Amino acid sequence: MTATLKPTPARLALLQAVADGEVSVARQWGGGFEYRHRPAEGPNRTVTKAAETLKAAGWIGEGRADGPSMYARRPVELTDAGRTVLDNAKENQ
């Protein structure tokens, strides 16, 4: 999927939020996972669908859990591929 995924402005904004440490993921009680964008300013928002797209493309991955529970939030991190996409976008601005 990496070759076909285009770095749209929305995807680049989410990659930048990941780079800034503002995105986390947690397992949900009913099953599945929820990705949340928690910016320094402004309201939190769910970005699960967009984050799952970036993860499937290999642009983001999950870090270590914040606590011992399987439901603890984990930070979302850029992969090398995601960092390259973000760096290329910045160079081409």
Give the global pTM.
0.88
**Mean pLDDT across the stretch 48-65?**
93
Is 80 exposed, middle or buried (CB count within 10 Å of its CB: 0-12, 13-18, 19+)?
exposed
Rounded CA gap, 82 and 15, in Å?
7
Binning pLDDT at 50, 70 and 90, where does residue 67 land? confident
pLDDT given for residue 69 in this prediction: 76
- Using an 8 Å Cβ cutoff, are 61 and 55 in contact? yes
What is residue 29's predicted lDDT score, i.e. its pLDDT? 84
- What does the pLDDT read at residue 3? 54
pLDDT mean over 37-66: 92
Mean local confidence (pLDDT), 83-92:
93
